[in-house]
Structure 1
Amino acid sequence: MSKVLLEKAKTLEPMNPNKSTALFGGKSSGILNWNDIAYPHWYKMYKRLIGNYWQADEINMSDDLRQFSSLTDAEKDAYLKIIGLLSTLDAPQTRTALLLSLYATDPSVQSIMAVIAQQEAVHNESYSYVLSSVVSLDEQNESFQLGRTDPVLLKRNETLMQQYNAFVEEPTIENILKTTVYTALLEGMFFYSGFAFFYHLARKNKMVGTSTMISYINRDELEHGRFIAELFRAALDENPDLNTAEFTDWVYSRFSESVELEIEWSAYVLADIEGIDLDEMAGYIKYRANKMLRMMGLSEFYPDHTENPMKWIRAYADNFDETKTDFFEQKSRQYTKTSDLNGFDDL
C-alpha cells in the first residue's frame, strides 16, 4: 500500500477547479459551491447534520438529580463508568474530525467534518453537564479519569488509540482509510452498549433526562456513521490500488477484534445490572457490527446476527423527522413505538 505522505490541503488555490478532483490528495480551489460538488447527495447529509442542532443545558436534569441516589449501587457504578467511557470516545472525535478535514481536498468534506467536530464537542460537554447535575465534583473527576486508569477500558481503547495516533504521525491515504474504519466502529458500535444501559434505565422510568440527552447523541452518531461509511467507500473507490484482499481482511479483523473487546467491556460494566441479558447484549453488538459493515460496502461478518435482538431500544430513540418541539415549544423526547417502516432499523 502507498506510503506517500499527504500534505494538508491549501486554504485557497484559485487556479484549481471548485469541484475537487479527489477527496484526499486532489486539487480544489477551496471554494465551496454545494451545487457543484463531486458527490452531490452529500449536501443532503450536511443538511440533516445541521438540522440536529441542540445544546446540553436544554435538557432538564432535576428529576435525575432526585433519582440518582435511589439507583442501586450497580446502576450508579455503571452510570459513572459508562459516562467515563463515552467521554473518552467523544473527546478524541472532535480532534479526529478536524484532522481529517485538514487533509481533505474536497471542500464539502471539510464542511461536513466541521459540523461533525462541533457536534462531538457538544457531546463531550453534555457528559460534563450530566455528571455535574447528579454527583459531586470529586465523583465527576473520578469518572473522567477512567479513560486513563481503568484496565478494561484501556485495553478496549488501545487499538483505536494506536490507529488515531498513527494517522497523526503518518498522514497517508492508507491511514486515512484505516482511521475512517475505526471512526465507523466508534460511531456505529462502540457507543451502543452504553446507550442501551441508559435506555434500560428509562424503560424503568429512571434517569429520563440522561436518556433523553443520550437519544440526541445517538441521533447524531447515526448520521456521523452514515457519512463516515460513505467517505470510506468513496475514498477507497478513488484509490483502487488500496482496495485489496489484504486490506479487506484487515477491516474484518479490526471489526472482529473490536466486537470481542466491546462484549468484554459490556460484560464488565453491566454484569450486575438487573434486567440486562449479557448474551442478548453480545448479539446486539454483533448486529451493530453487521450494520456498519453493510454501510461500508462489505459483507456481514456475523450471519447469525442480522436482526436486532433488542428491539425495545427503538422506542427510546428520537425519530429524525419528529424531534422539533413539544406543546411548550421545548425539544421533545419521542417515547413512541417504532417500526421498520419509519427509519429505525439502524438502531
Structure 2
Amino acid sequence: MAHALDKRKLVDHEAPNKSTGIVNGQSSNVLNWDDTRYSWAYPMYKNMLANFWIPNEINMGNDLKQWKQLTDQEQETFKKIIGLLAFLDSIQTDYSGKIADYLTDSSLSALMQVLAFQEVVHNQSYSYVLSTLVDQHEQENIFEYWKYDDILIERNKFITDGYEAFLEEPTVENFLISIVYDVVLEGLFFYAGFAFFYNLARNGKMVSTSTMINYINRDEQIHVSLFARIFNETLNENPEIDRARFHRFVEETFEKAAELEIKWAHHIIGDSFPGIPINDLEDYIYFMANKRCKLLGANKPFEGYSENPLKWLRAYQEVDEGKSDFFEQKSRQYTKVSEDNGFDEL
C-alpha cells in the first residue's frame, strides 16, 4: 500500500516551529536554527556555506594555453564529460527544488534550497570553462550531447525515470526511490569523469578546470550525505514501510548503476589513457557503489571491493573530508577575474 505524500504548508499557525517529521509532519514553517529537529542540519548548513565558491574566481588563462596541447582524444573526452555534467546538474537543480516542497522540516527544506543554488553554480562553471576554451557554436553543441549520444541517453534515462515516477505520483515510497536515484547521480555517475579530470591535473594539465571539478566534487559529497540522512531518517520515522524491501532496492539499483557507469567509462576513457587503467577504474566504480549502498544502510552489492584501487585519488578524497587541499600542493593560479585579468587577457 502506497502512503500519500503531502506538500509542506506555507504557514501553519497551529504547528510547532520544530518539525515533527521529515515528510507528512507538522511544522509552522518558521526556521529557527537553534531549535531544529535534527542536530546535524545546522552543522551541514554551515559546512555548505563554508564551501561557497564561484567559477569566476578561478583564472582560466593557463588552461586556455594548454587546451590546444591536449590530444584530440583528451579534448573529445573532456567535452563529453562536461556535456554529461551539464545535463545532470541541470535536472538536479529542478529535482531538489521539487523535493523540497514535500519536506515538512523547515531546516531540511532550507538545506535543499542551498543545494539547488550550488547546482546552479556548478552549471555556471561548465559554461565558464567552455566559453574560455571553445567558440559559442561548439559550446552549444556540447550542451546538446545528451540528446544524441546513445550511452548518455541510456544513463540519463535511468535517473530521470526514477525522478519522474516521484513527480507523477508523490508517495512516501516514490520519495525514497527518487532519493536512491539521486545518490546514484551525485555519488556514482560523476566519478569516472572526475577521475579523468584529476588524472589531467596530476599530470599538470588543465589544473584550473580540475580545481573547479574538485570544488563540485566537494559539494556533491555533502549533497550525498544530506540525501542519505533524509533517506535513513524517513525509514526510521515510518516503521510501517518495508525497510528490507528498500534496502534490496538500493542494492539492485546500484548494481545496474555501476554497470552503466562502467559502460560510460569505456566510452570516454577505454584502454588508452595513461594513468587510468580501465580495470582499476571498473574496480573503483564497484568500490564507490558499495560505499554508497553502505551509506544508505544496505548491504554491499559487490563482493570485496572494500578498498579504493586508484590510490592516487586519495588526495582528492582528503579534500572532501577537509584534511588538505590537493591543488595547494601544486603550482596553480587561483585569482579572482577582474578588469585587469579578465577574458580580454586570456
Q: TM-score, normalised by structure 1?
A: 0.91
Is residue 2:150 matched to residue 1:156? Answer: no
Once residues 151 and 88 of structure 1 are traced to their aligned partners in structure 2, the CA distance between those partners, rounded to angstroms, is 14
CA contact (8 A) 2:198 2:210 kept: yes
Q: What SS is found at the alignment partner of 2:101?
A: helix
Once residues 316 and 252 of structure 1 are traced to their aligned partners in structure 2, the CA distance between those partners, rounded to angstroms, is 26
Once residues 304 and 38 of structure 1 are traced to their aligned partners in structure 2, the CA distance between those partners, rounded to angstroms, is 37
Aligned partner (choices 324, 328, 337) of residue 334 of structure 1? 328
1:186 maps to: 185
1:165 maps to: 164
1:245 maps to: 244
Residue 7 of structure 1, CA deviation: 2.9
Q: What SS is found at the alignment partner of 1:37?
A: coil
2:71 alignment partner AA: T
1:276 maps to: 276
Q: Structure 2: 5+ residue runs without aligned partners?
A: 331-346
Residue 292 of structure 1, CA deviation: 1.0
Residue 247 of structure 1, CA deviation: 2.6
Once residues 216 and 74 of structure 2 are traced to their aligned partners in structure 1, the CA distance between those partners, rounded to angstroms, is 21
1:288 maps to: 288
Q: What SS is found at the alignment partner of 1:241?
A: coil
Is residue 2:131 matched to residue 1:132? Answer: yes
What does the per-residue CA deviation read over 1:55-78, in whole Å, with 9 as the maximum and x for residues that have no partner?
Answer: 011111111111111111110110
Once residues 155 and 321 of structure 1 are traced to their aligned partners in structure 2, the CA distance between those partners, rounded to angstroms, is 35
Aligned residues: 328
Once residues 69 and 247 of structure 1 are traced to their aligned partners in structure 2, the CA distance between those partners, rounded to angstroms, is 48
1:44 maps to: 43
Residue 275 of structure 1, CA deviation: 2.9
Is residue 2:12 matched to residue 1:8? Answer: no
Is residue 2:208 matched to residue 1:209? Answer: yes
What does the per-residue CA deviation read over 1:208-253, in whole Å, with 9 as the maximum and x for residues that have no partner?
Answer: 0100000100111111111111110001111122234333222211
Compute the RMSD of aligned alpha carbons.
Answer: 1.7
Residue 335 of structure 1, CA deviation: 3.1
Once residues 291 and 322 of structure 1 are traced to their aligned partners in structure 2, the CA distance between those partners, rounded to angstroms, is 20
CA contact (8 A) 2:248 2:298 kept: no
CA contact (8 A) 1:259 1:285 kept: yes
CA contact (8 A) 2:250 2:298 kept: no
CA contact (8 A) 1:316 1:335 kept: no
**Which has the higher mean CA deviation after the structures are superposed, 189-198 or 242-251?**
242-251
Residue 32 of structure 1, CA deviation: 1.2
CA contact (8 A) 1:280 1:310 kept: yes
With a CA cutoff of 8 Å and minimum separation of 6, indicate the structure with the bigger relative contact order: 2
1:288 alignment partner AA: M
CA contact (8 A) 1:116 1:224 kept: yes
CA contact (8 A) 2:250 2:293 kept: no
What does the per-residue CA deviation read over 1:85-118, in whole Å, with 9 as the maximum and x for residues that have no partner?
Answer: 1111111111111111111100011111011101
Cα 1:316–1:237 change in 2 (3 A) is closer
CA contact (8 A) 2:251 2:300 kept: no
Once residues 186 and 319 of structure 1 are traced to their aligned partners in structure 2, the CA distance between those partners, rounded to angstroms, is 17
1:340 maps to: none
Cα 1:163–1:30 change in 2 (3 A) is same
What does the per-residue CA deviation read over 1:282-323, in whole Å, with 9 as the maximum and x for residues that have no partner?
Answer: 111111111111111222222321101112112246365478
Q: Structure 1: 5+ residue runs without aligned partners?
A: 325-331, 337-347
Q: What SS is found at the alignment partner of 1:333?
A: helix
CA contact (8 A) 1:319 1:334 kept: no
Residue 276 of structure 1, CA deviation: 1.6
Summarize the alignment of residues 1-347 of structure 1 with structure 2, pairs less than 5 Å apart: 1-4=1-4, 6-271=5-270, 272-316=272-316, 318=319, 321=322, 333-335=327-329
Cα 1:283–1:322 change in 2 (3 A) is closer
Once residues 254 and 319 of structure 1 are traced to their aligned partners in structure 2, the CA distance between those partners, rounded to angstroms, is 25
Q: What SS is found at the alignment partner of 1:240?
A: coil
Q: What SS is found at the alignment partner of 1:12?
A: coil
**Which has the higher mean CA deviation after the structures are superposed, 270-279 or 141-150?**
270-279
Q: What SS is found at the alignment partner of 2:18?
A: coil
CA contact (8 A) 2:235 2:243 kept: no
2:342 maps to: none
2:308 alignment partner AA: N
Once residues 60 and 98 of structure 2 are traced to their aligned partners in structure 1, the CA distance between those partners, rounded to angstroms, is 34
Identity %: 44
Cα 1:41–1:316 change in 2 (3 A) is closer
Once residues 107 and 136 of structure 1 are traced to their aligned partners in structure 2, the CA distance between those partners, rounded to angstroms, is 43
